[in-house]
């Protein structure tokens, strides 16, 4: 088992053909709260991934969910991070838009919709890391998901972001969320002026 990533909430290991997401103990939290958060977040992420799969979204298969050790075992997706290859594959915007549209159509918000949480495998875009996701029918939450994705491509893929965004818009067809995105962006611009 090899550690391949470490975030604020979890350590990610690879073990042969599976990924293990281990939500680590936080000593600064009360033990009972820490256990509750780790358990509920592990369950919630597994549920969201399964819901996304039912919606036809490309996600890793859940192999095992252990609520006692707060570990989630998932299929290893042997592919490229979209963030590493997007600059030479602008058309991936369409594949991303199609997947996000499927998510939002099932009232699933990813919560961390960045190109670092997308893997290209066999010419399909897969979404990973639903740790900040939720099920909601609020158009605000969907618009914030879109805003985060747009901000990600502006900052990480600045020379091609408009082409990627236009490609994305060819397949993302939730007009309410796109209309609300303008309100979210206006709030952001207003804050920057202060």
Q: So which residues are the catalytic ones?
A: 112
Query: 102 — phi, psi (to 5°)?
Result: -65, -40
What radius of gyration do the chain's Cα atoms show?
Answer: 17
- Alpha-carbon distance of 77 to 187, in angstroms, equals 37
Measured over the CA atoms of residue 2, residue 116, residue 43 and residue 35, the dihedral's sign is positive
Minimal CA–CA distance to 51: which of 150, 171, 136, 174? 136
Token duo for residue 150: 């747009």
Residues 6+ apart with CB under 8 A from 35: none
- Alpha-carbon distance of 26 to 57, in angstroms, equals 32
DSSP summary character for residue 117: G
Cβ neighbour number for residue 174 with a 10 Å cutoff: 19
């Amino acid at each position: 088992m090899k550690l391949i990533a470490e975030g604020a909430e979890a350590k990610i290991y690879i073990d042969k053909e599976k990924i293990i997401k281990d939500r680590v103990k936080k000593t600064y939290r009360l033990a009972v709260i820490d256990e509750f958060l780790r358990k509920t977040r592990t369950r919630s992420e597994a549920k969201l991934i399964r819901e996304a799969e039912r919606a036809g979204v490309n996600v890793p298969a859940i192999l095992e969910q252990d609520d006692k050790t707060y570990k989630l075992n998932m299929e290893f997706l042997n592919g490229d991070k979209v963030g590493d290859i997007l600059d030479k594959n602008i058309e991936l915007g369409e594949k991303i838009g199609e997947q996000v549209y499927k998510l939002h159509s099932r009232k699933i918000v990813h919560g961390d919709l960045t190109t670092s949480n997308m893997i290209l495998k066999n010419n399909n875009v897969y979404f990973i890391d639903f740790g900040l996701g939720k099920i909601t029918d609020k158009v605000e939450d969907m618009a914030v998901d879109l805003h985060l994705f747009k901000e990600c491509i502006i900052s990480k893929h600045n020379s091609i972001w408009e082409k990627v965004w236009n490609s994305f818009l060819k397949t993302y067809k939730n007009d309410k969320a796109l209309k609300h995105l303008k309100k979210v962006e206006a709030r952001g611009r207003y804050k920057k002026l202060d």
